[in-house]
Amino acid sequence: MSKEQLLEKLHALDRECNLLEKAAAVLRWDQETCLPELGVEGRAEQLALLEGIHHEKFTAPGTGRLLEELGSVSENPGGDEKLAPPERDFLKVLRRAYDREVRLPPDFVAGAARAEGLSQAAWVQARKNNDFAAFLPHLEKMIDFSRRRSLYWGYSENPYDGLLDIYEPGMPAAAIEAVFGPLKDHLNGLLKKITARPQVDASFLDKEFDTGAQALFSRELLKRLGFDTRRGRLDLSAHPFTTTLGADDIRITTRYILKDPLSSIFSTIHEAGHAFYEMGFPREIRGGCLADGASMGIHESQSRFWENVIGRSRPFWQGLFPVLCGYFPKELRGVQTDDFYRALNQVKPSLIRIEADEVSYSLHIILRFELERDIFSGRLAPADLPAAWRTRMKETLGVEPETDAEGVLQDIHWSQGSFGYFPSYALGNLYGLQIFEKMCADIPGFEEDISKGDFGTIRQWLSDTIYIWGKRLYPPELLKKITGQSLKSEPFLNYIEEKYADIYEF
Ligand code: CO
């Protein structure tokens, strides 16, 4: 067989595996948005079967043979050097996925999928009933599956590193600690400066905002940002998320809280940022393994960029606040744009991560990272998590949850076995601002565009600079290509210092 024929066979296999992954994603999306409570067990069986079929197909001996015949081995994943760069990137990504998947026994894969479905459903109920004890057996199972997965991959020294590597290739716990340590000190210092200043008045938000009107405004917001509703949908879920069900079917979700209109606004913008990335992959890589983000950290850089750098900026609300007032004329009567801008940037250490301000947000993440690290090193037992959560929240942010529902049970990630994901959010903040520096240089008038509600130039820039690569480059390579540099905290710290010095006048 010629190289072209071998590649065509491998692409066909990749496309079929991708179809199976998307079919499983449909079932997961449905579980989080509309599955009736008692449908959970049947759904877990369906997912276990699909994951099993996917695993069997992807790890069949033929896949390994095709990769080898194209010169792709673990030491040289890109294969034959004469192949075109996109094909070498395709082989690199597929080899990495194959090397991991082939080490997992089939019954482990199906068992993990089944347990994840049940665990996630148990988490929804446990959070609703504030009942950590009911969730604990599922949590222990998720930790056990994650640990075993990492051991199969060969991370016997430190299983947590294997989990981190899923989301941020090449960033083990020690490398993340080296970034998070100074970041934590810096943010704590900034928090101190802010709390010493007169506080922002956000009392006009302390009332009920009809959730029906919130839903209408979320749709308006998406339209103005340029979200293509022929290729995506907005629905409701307990925890907002984005999932891709097909190249032209990208789903996002939000949630509406009667006394907190900002929650749905910023989760909608956040998820739209993820969706733009997923919608922006070039046609030639759609439907295959390269149609994915460079890493979850880079993915979160996109969502957090739209949410914070754009969505929490002054120019953004100069354009949009009058529109929001149209939806809430009574509630926002007499409020000036600048009052609203300050209120939505109020810095106030609080219990819930996804509603946290930009200064304390990364501290929420660092806390979760440290807890995960301690669980996988055996220093912290899962049963002790609620107490550890309360103590460390008090130490880190000076607040302590009264219930586990607003403490250790607040996030969906652990219920899905996604240990190692959390650092992506804080890394995303750093990547996002480093990339933003370059954007500012390339698009001098972007602030005026934002205030006019014109996001086309910014989206085009992101598309040409980031989306176009899909998963072809690892994060350090992508960052180097865009900024010429490696990961740095300074752009984020400079941005946050300058922004909050203006708001809190120090
Ligand atoms: Co996100």
Residues 385 and 443 in one domain: yes
Within-domain flag for 166: no
- Judged by phi (left if over 0) then psi (alpha if -120 to 50, else beta), residue 288 lies in beta
Within-domain flag for 27: yes
Q: What is the CATH number of the domain that holds 344?
A: 1.10.1370.30
Cα-Cα-Cα-Cα dihedral of 46, 47, 50, 56, to 10°? -130
Mean pLDDT of 4-29: 98
Residues 363 and 307 in one domain: yes
Q: Which residues contact 89 (CB under 8 A, 6 or more apart)?
A: 78, 290, 471, 472, 473
Residues 195 and 240 in one domain: yes
Q: How confident is the model at residue 337 (pLDDT cuts 50, 70, 90)?
A: very high
Identify which of 480, 9, 32, 432 has the alpha carbon closest to the alpha carbon of residue 236.
32
Catalytic machinery residues:
271
Q: Tell me the CA–centroid distance for residue 300 and ligand 1, in Å.
A: 5
Residues 129 and 199 in one domain: no
Spatial distance between the Cα atoms of 225 and 383, rounded to a whole number of angstroms: 44
Within-domain flag for 416: yes
Spatial distance between the Cα atoms of 68 and 223, rounded to a whole number of angstroms: 47
Domain's final residue, options 157, 183, 198: 157
Q: What is the pLDDT of residues 184-226, one digit of tens each?
A: 999 999 999 999 999 999 999 999 999 999 999 999 999 999 9
Residues 394 and 495 in one domain: yes
Q: Tell me the CA–centroid distance for residue 105 and ligand 1, in Å.
A: 30
Q: How confident is the model at residue 96 (pLDDT cuts 50, 70, 90)?
A: very high
Q: Order across the sheet with 242-246: list the strands.
A: 232-236, 249-254, 242-246
Within-domain flag for 122: yes
Residues 183 and 96 in one domain: no
Residues 365 and 237 in one domain: yes
Domain that holds residue 328: 173-504
Domain count, the chain: 2
Q: Tell me the CA–centroid distance for residue 274 and ligand 1, in Å.
A: 7
Q: Tell me the CA–centroid distance for residue 59 and ligand 1, in Å.
A: 30
Parallel, antiparallel, or unpaired: how do β-strands 232-236 and 249-254 relate? parallel
Residues 306 and 217 in one domain: yes
Within-domain flag for 164: no
Q: How confident is the model at residue 355 (pLDDT cuts 50, 70, 90)?
A: confident
Residues 39 and 70 in one domain: yes
Residues 236 and 268 in one domain: yes
Within-domain flag for 221: yes
Spatial distance between the Cα atoms of 175 and 161, rounded to a whole number of angstroms: 10
Q: Which two tokens stand for residue 402?
A: 């009264």
Identify which of 69, 201, 146, 219 has the alpha carbon closest to the alpha carbon of residue 375.
146
pTM (2 decimals)? 0.96
Q: Tell me the CA–centroid distance for residue 372 and ligand 1, in Å.
A: 19
